[in-house]
Structure 1
Amino acid sequence: MTFAQTHTSIPEEAKKRGLLAVVIERALLGARTAAVAIRRGARAVRGVVTPLGWSVIAAAIVAIVVGYGWGLLEIIAIAWGLVVIVSVAALWLIGRGAGELRLLVPTPRVVVGEPALARLVAANPGRRGFRGVQLELPVGARVFERVLPRLARGSAFDEQFAIPTDRRGIVPIGPVRTVRADPIGLMRREIVWSEMAELRVHPRTVSISALSTGFIRDLEGFPTRDLTSSDIAFHALREYVPGDDRRYIHWRSSAKTGTFMVRQFEESRRSRLMILLDLEPGAYVDDAEFELAVGAAASVGARAIRDARSVSFVVSGPRSASGSRLGGPMRELPTVSRDRLVDALCVIEREPRAALLPDVARSAVETLHGISLVILVTGTARGIASLRSAAGRVPAGVEVLAVQCSPEGEASSRTVAGLTVFDIGYLEDLRAMLARTASVA
């Protein structure tokens, strides 16, 4: 707005609201704009001045006040010396550099214990590249620090960083940033060059044989022992009774016997596997037992998904101290693909307020329909009474297996009141036991 426009607009507004109101309104608008600018400047200053820098600035202000107030030339000289030091430190931060920094994570998913690397590529496409700036790359709880060498025009710098994978979970990587700081440490300026990446560390699994136990209910397998009037698995002929579907009358047999005979079938229905991973802390002696249980449950789930079986992966849900449910005593993990399942298992931990195992089993069988096999995976601290109670909540005709995990323990199989319990010390034990069960079945 020009000077002439300003002076022509004020009298027009003054006729309507008065000159004083217009001046006050514009003064307030200018004050708000200045306050916003001051706040932005204050945030920028707070982001670059270190605690030592604030101490030096405060000392300079006190020295100026005391020196000029008392006329002490020595104090005045010290004050201006501190001002010069702060000014030089601020000039040290000027410039961003014309280089490029890229963070690459070639493999976003690894199995626990496998090596994983993050690549950092720095390039100088122009004349003004990086000039020995400090580089910081957060990887999980650690921060890798490097000093980038001076890069000539057209040169590049490529370095790899090892990512810790000794624990299942999600490891945050980055963002990569460069740090410009003066030699004294009064000012520090961080420049972020990339987004944060994630590395998913999956639980260790083993390849197990096809799950045949409990899977005798689908159309490609064997029929059930339940008889029905219509299905695809023929069982026998019987005499016609009122209400039978006439489409199933066997006319040749009816002609021989002189009595209407109808076909009778064995019912076939779709199989469904349910894996229940116990998250109650008291079920496990230590972390190693829980990690083995996660790997065992993941191995069974991955095999079922690979075989295109209908599978539900259930974990314990939380409950309040009074026993009331918070969102139900069970949670279901995604099983649309193996990656989705093990991705979800990356962040599964023991639940301090986990519902009791029998309550979880009852809620699961009430929610999920068509279950033919239930596999309970837990630790050695879970008593057999609790396992039998959980198995008792499962409807009759549904097979139940329990897997108790004890790292480096002796593998064994036992049957207690109709409940089969596998004790495993390694994931390979589970593979062998399931293969043996399948051969017997």
Structure 2
Amino acid sequence: MTERSAPQAAAERRRDRVDAVARAGLGVARSVIAVIRPLGAVLIAASAVLWWLALAFGWIELLIATVVVTVVLALSVAFLFGRTTYDVGLDLTRTHVVVGERAIGALTLTNGTSRTILPSEVVLPVGPGRGVFQVPRLAPGAVHEELFAIPTSARGVLSVGPVSVRRGDPLGLFERTHDRRQAVELYVHPRTTSLDGLSLGHLRDLEGLPVPHLARDDVSFHALREYQPGDDLRHVHWKSTARIGAVMVRQYEQTRRSHFVVGLSTHPDEYRDAEEFELAISTAGSVGLRALRDARILDARTQHGQLRSLTARRFLDELSLLGPSRPRQGGIAALAGAVAAHAPQAAVVVLVTGSKTDAAELRLACSRLPFGVRVLAVVADTRVDAPALKGIGDADVVTLGTLEQLPRAVRKVLA
């Protein structure tokens, strides 16, 4: 058994060495192929054919042409050699911008070596595009800076980088690149608009926030005052009554429930086009930001689950990542069911959907929400010229054509 296993072990070791050599050779081949540009590949193939023809037929003219092509290839390969060890700094002044704004940045390259670095190109990918910067010859310790501006025309998250240093010949036959810096994410937030305070359906609640309105009965103690006819004797403060000699009762601040829910449908069948979907996202963002500024507990949801909305920036970052998707749960009615299941104590629910959602679907969605919740449904429809308001059961339904119509529509609801 031992004599038979030893040859097998030796054969396995030989196979492992052969595999290692093959992998190393494959890696070298890939590295060589990676530096050859299409025009370089054509000239290499042409050079091989010309050498064969010149040697086979002995044509002097053909041999001269072959030597010229070979010399051009050799000189072009020489441009690949040289140091490109820059210290690269990539700085974006803002990593969060709104659609339409420009993101300003700076690219700094420093020669931290003791030798001169020959001219080269630096490539900065930005999303699907890229910027190319020409870097001059840098002496030891020299610094070169490039300023750039990234225009933003669509909501989303752009990957800026990684920065690549590229060396190549003037003819574009060969090219060598090295990544020098990791990518930076640029969040392009949706457009939003400013809204007045969303005093929709303020309800007294044990977990609410106190407001500057005094009440005879609530859970937030404010002060003591003298008894008045009609006051509940359960709120008499007997110790103060005995000390002062007059009947004193507790006075309370009213509290209002602060749980605010924004439900944004991402089902593509509910929107006519991408513009309508962007309007819905901007609407949800505007309403959510107003709720956060009012110190509400914001719960933002889509059919795929909850969006992180602890801060305004995190909320807008989450909206930047959204895209239309076909959830298994369904459309706006399924989203309303999820809101009812995960936020049963909500005070206000704002549902946002597209123009292809009919009244029956909206009625079904509103019926799935908890009883007593104030409901506002916003329908994004880019075809309308003015906001329209109607009621479906106890819910208010607003139809918008542009984001600028949202403040006026909200004022109509609060009127």
Does the pair score TM above 0.5? yes
Partner AA of 1:272 in structure 2 = H
Partner AA of 2:306 in structure 1 = E
Whether 2:204 is the aligned partner of 1:217: answer yes
8 Å CA contact 1:130–1:148 kept in 2: the answer is no
Aligned counterpart in structure 2 of residue 404 of structure 1, from 379, 385, 395: 379
Whether 2:186 is the aligned partner of 1:199: answer yes
Name the SS of the counterpart of 2:350 in structure 1. strand
8 Å CA contact 1:215–1:221 kept in 2: the answer is no
What's the CA shift for 1:152? 4.5
What's the CA shift for 1:64? 4.5
Aligned counterpart in structure 2 of residue 338 of structure 1, from 312, 318, 322: 312
CA distance 1:366–1:20, shift in 2 (3 Å)? closer
Q: How many Å separate the matches in 2 of 1:78 and 1:379?
A: 67
Q: How does 1:103-122 map to 2 (within 5 A)?
A: 103-122=90-109
Q: In structure 2, what is the equivalent of residue 8 of structure 1?
A: none
What's the CA shift for 1:107? 0.5
What's the CA shift for 1:375? 0.9
Whether 2:414 is the aligned partner of 1:414: answer no
The two structures have a TM-score, normalised by structure 2, of: 0.78
Partner AA of 2:42 in structure 1 = S
Whether 2:136 is the aligned partner of 1:149: answer yes
Q: In structure 2, what is the equivalent of residue 347 of structure 1?
A: 321
Q: In structure 2, what is the equivalent of residue 133 of structure 1?
A: 120
Q: How many Å separate the matches in 1 of 2:80 and 2:268?
A: 51
The two structures have a TM-score, normalised by structure 1, of: 0.74
CA-to-partner distance for each residue in 1:202-224, whole Å, 9 max, x for gaps? 112223233321231334359xx
CA-to-partner distance for each residue in 1:75-122, whole Å, 9 max, x for gaps? 666555544443332222111235433221121101111221221122
Partner AA of 1:401 in structure 2 = L
Q: In structure 1, what is the equivalent of residue 81 of structure 2?
A: 94
Q: How many Å separate the matches in 2 of 1:287 and 1:21?
A: 64
CA distance 1:24–1:66, shift in 2 (3 Å)? farther
What's the CA shift for 1:74? 6.1
Q: How many Å separate the matches in 2 of 1:337 and 1:168?
A: 19
Partner AA of 1:220 in structure 2 = L
Whether 2:363 is the aligned partner of 1:376: answer no
Q: In structure 1, what is the equivalent of residue 250 of structure 2?
A: none
Aligned counterpart in structure 1 of residue 338 of structure 2, from 344, 353, 363: 363
Q: In structure 2, what is the equivalent of residue 289 of structure 1?
A: 276
Q: How many Å separate the matches in 2 of 1:182 and 1:157?
A: 21
User: Aligned-pair RMSD on alpha carbons?
Assistant: 3.7
Partner AA of 2:29 in structure 1 = A
CA-to-partner distance for each residue in 1:115-140, whole Å, 9 max, x for gaps? 21221122335564443322222222
Q: In structure 2, what is the equivalent of residue 165 of structure 1?
A: 152
What's the CA shift for 1:374? 1.4
Of Structure 1 and Structure 2, which has the larger fraction of its residues in strand? 2
8 Å CA contact 1:99–1:129 kept in 2: the answer is no
Q: In structure 2, what is the equivalent of residue 324 of structure 1?
A: none
Aligned counterpart in structure 2 of residue 181 of structure 1, from 145, 168, 173: 168
Partner AA of 1:140 in structure 2 = G
What's the CA shift for 1:283? 2.7
Name the SS of the counterpart of 1:116 in structure 2. strand
Q: In structure 1, what is the equivalent of residue 294 of structure 2?
A: 307
Q: How many Å separate the matches in 2 of 1:121 and 1:140?
A: 20
Question: Percent identity of the aligned residues?
Answer: 32
Aligned counterpart in structure 2 of residue 434 of structure 1, from 396, 410, 413: 410
Partner AA of 1:360 in structure 2 = L
Q: How many Å separate the matches in 2 of 1:386 and 1:21?
A: 71
CA-to-partner distance for each residue in 1:32-87, whole Å, 9 max, x for gaps? 45334312211210111223333333344444555556666666665555444433
Q: How many Å separate the matches in 2 of 1:26 and 1:315?
A: 56
What's the CA shift for 1:421? 1.7
Q: How many Å separate the matches in 1 of 2:31 and 2:193?
A: 53
Moved more, 346-355 or 72-81: 72-81
Moved more, 193-202 or 372-381: 372-381
CA distance 1:32–1:436, shift in 2 (3 Å)? closer
What's the CA shift for 1:231? 7.9
Partner AA of 2:410 in structure 1 = L
8 Å CA contact 2:202–2:256 kept in 1: the answer is no
Q: In structure 2, what is the equivalent of residue 391 of structure 1?
A: 366
Uncovered stretches (5+) of structure 2, i.e. residues with no partner: 212-216, 222-229, 239-253
8 Å CA contact 2:210–2:256 kept in 1: the answer is no
Q: How many Å separate the matches in 2 of 1:292 and 1:22?
A: 68
Q: How many Å separate the matches in 2 of 1:26 and 1:357?
A: 63
Q: How many Å separate the matches in 2 of 1:336 and 1:74?
A: 77
